[in-house]
Amino acid sequence: MYQNDIILRAAKGEKVERVPIWLMRQAGRILPEYKATRARAKNFIEFVKNPELAAEVTIQPVDILGVDAAIIFSDILVIPEAMGLPYQMIEAKGPNFEKTIKSQKDIDDLHIADAGDLDYVIQAIKLAKKDLNNRVPLIGFGGAPWTLMAYMVEGSGSKTFSQAKKFLYQQPELAHQLLEKITQSTINYLKGQIAAGADMIQLFDSWAGVLGHEQYLEFSLKYISKICDAIEPLVPVTVFAKDAHFALADMAKLNCNTIGLDWTINPQDARIIIGHEKTLQGNADPCMLYADEKAIEATARKMVNAFGKQRYIANLGHGLYPDLDKNKVKFFIDCVKGL
Amino acid sequence: MYQNDIILRAAKGEKVERVPIWLMRQAGRILPEYKATRARAKNFIEFVKNPELAAEVTIQPVDILGVDAAIIFSDILVIPEAMGLPYQMIEAKGPNFEKTIKSQKDIDDLHIADAGDLDYVIQAIKLAKKDLNNRVPLIGFGGAPWTLMAYMVEGSGSKTFSQAKKFLYQQPELAHQLLEKITQSTINYLKGQIAAGADMIQLFDSWAGVLGHEQYLEFSLKYISKICDAIEPLVPVTVFAKDAHFALADMAKLNCNTIGLDWTINPQDARIIIGHEKTLQGNADPCMLYADEKAIEATARKMVNAFGKQRYIANLGHGLYPDLDKNKVKFFIDCVKGL
């Protein structure tokens, strides 16, 4: 069906002839082509909501960088917005919510979103699938419920997310109600993405690392697990929980195919802890791409040696940073593909 | 010599009758008394540079909260400033350096600081020691060289410190020169603190967690180790590297007495990895102090059960947040002391 389905085979644990690779934030500011498309929208939110533009930047890294998958261009915060909590993306600052979740009433007022509320993403997926024309699979994605809740309570990014954590400590029952509503919305949304053509799903738990182990199990992994149970029977699922070094053994029990790792995790340790029933994804430090080609090639080689060629998808341990050199990024991708 | 020297005994591995406790950022905005003293200085930098005010807020938590040690009120960024790189502390934003380190010349222009350059801290220590009147020991401190370098290159706080990391990848030799100069300055400074009366030293590696394991060993732990080798023969040394879960086994080899842990580390795992030759310090989530007294008491009990009463200093896994309730903080301290 696909000209190149190596990433799907790697996710399912089928034999591959080389290591597949894609990069988090591969559709982004490292590409001049992205900036040109981005300039056609008034602001970030309008950009995300425009299916033609979103589909266009989704395809760019496949053509330009030669990655083994596209990932639909969108934002994890479309779910809070669809639930009734709109946000702004402030240049050089990040997301900002005018209204935040504080009380039972705030949670009651939230709507459980379905794919119809996010039709602009569904349309973008359909367009991207058409333009991809089966060259490579398309990855859909969502934010993990804890990460979305963290923004919905805190109202913006934060080093500590202390207000969102305060909510967990002071109003745990309300937190569970909120997380449940986000989870149901996310399942509806991801099923819509799959119906529109997404071939794999990745869940991003960007703020896993602000929680301790017990809170992580109770307030994050429980809901990730529900999503995996609903989605994994449909398409391969990847869970990427940044800085969740303490939860690798727990993640090994999820109904998911692939576990994403950040660059603080030792590949061999991860394999021992997680076992051989999951594909691992990661985990180069994005800043390594600031180095010279010799160092980049050495990293690619080391990564593939450490993870092995089977049950492995090469990626970074975080998204690409906007000031990285696109030629070096492409060089890294070529190195991995050539090994 | 001291009315209460339990923390020194715990650091040295001597027998204690109960668990000693102090809290990172115990001198801070949770205390109305701190805010009153702070209001007498024009800005944060003037506050830090005023020995009378600094000594005053250093003593406050001993009187008000009943902690087992004072820690001199200062900032890790006094070292870059003493080396020739001044900073501003911008309200609600954090530190900002007008000039940052980019080149060989920038590093050559830096001065290796000695205690004379930081006489205001030395005077604050002498005043605090006098006012403490041997009630409890006084902790001195410094930033780990990598963390200081991160600010000196990045110019401000950052979620990723990608510019500072770029420097490591692109100019590793210059990075080592810079780290060496910071290390020498820090050793001079800490020796000055000890000569003025500091009874223990803590090194804060706040941004350990942005580095991967190999870079951490090369660019951070190497220099922490040099500082430990110079300081540990004089007084007990604590190393607190936040988010450095990957380096616990390496830290176990340092010439230090105590290793601080953040709340993502499992106490029993830490003891197995680090062994029985070090005292462990930590590691409650500061946000736990937003919970009710029942939950706070349960956490205190659980912490002490997990770490054990010997070779352990109770603390948080990060500093106190400014909006925490001082009564709950005191309640937590009393719980630990009562166990």
Q: What CA–CA distances, in Å, run from B46 to A202, B15, B74, B88, B278? A: 49, 41, 11, 10, 37
Across the range A105-120, mean pLDDT stands at: 98
Chain B residue numbers touching A162 (CB-CB < 8 A):
286-287, 321, 323
| A4 prior amide bond cis, ω within 30 | no
Interface test with B, best of A146, A162, A220, A246 (most B CBs within 10 A): A162
The amino acid occupying position B235 is V
pLDDT at B92 over 90: no
Sorted by where each begins, the domain ranges of chain A are: 6-338
Q: Which two tokens stand for residue A102?
A: 């504080």
Interface test with B, best of A154, A156, A169 (most B CBs within 10 A): A169
Give the confidence band of A91 by pLDDT, cuts at 50, 70, 90.
Answer: confident
Give the confidence band of B333 by pLDDT, cuts at 50, 70, 90.
Answer: very high
pLDDT at A100 over 90: yes
Interchain contact, A264 vs B246, CB within 8 Å? yes
Q: Could you list the active site residues of A? A: 25, 29, 38, 75, 151
Q: Which two tokens stand for residue A243?
A: 């800085």
Q: What CA–CA distances, in Å, run from A154 to A100, A160, A181, B299, B316? A: 7, 10, 17, 24, 22
Closest by CA to A85, choosing from A114, A112, A104, A123, is A112
- Which neighbouring-strand residues pair with A256? none
B166 touching A (Cβ < 8 Å): yes
Interchain contact, B287 vs A165, CB within 8 Å? yes
Chain B residue numbers touching A290 (CB-CB < 8 A):
165-166, 169-170
State the smallest CA–CA distance between residue B170 and chain A in angstroms. 5
pLDDT at B93 over 90: no
Of all helices (H) and strands (E), which one includes residue B339? none
> Of chain B residues 231-260, which have a CB less than 8 A from chain A?
243, 245-246
Closest by CA to A225, choosing from A210, A243, A205, is A205
Q: How far apart are the C-alpha atoms of A104 and A88, rounded to whole Å?
A: 24
Interface test with A, best of B156, B163, B285, B293 (most A CBs within 10 A): B285
Q: Could you list the active site residues of B? A: 25, 29, 38, 75, 151
Query: Rounded mean pLDDT of chain A?
Result: 98
Interchain contact, B287 vs A162, CB within 8 Å? yes
Predicted confidence (pLDDT) per residue in A252-304, tens digit:
999 999 999 999 999 999 999 999 999 999 999 999 999 999 999 999 999 99
Across the range A161-189, mean pLDDT stands at: 98
B111 touching A (Cβ < 8 Å): no
Backbone angles phi, psi at A39, to 5 degrees: -65, -15
| ipTM of the prediction | 0.96
Across the range A96-113, mean pLDDT stands at: 98
Give yes or no for a contact between A170 and A93, defined as CB atoms under 8 angstroms apart. Answer: no
Interchain contact, A169 vs B288, CB within 8 Å? yes
Give yes or no for a contact between A200 and A137, defined as CB atoms under 8 angstroms apart. Answer: yes
**CATH class, B6-338 region:** alpha beta
State the smallest CA–CA distance between residue A233 and chain B in angstroms. 32
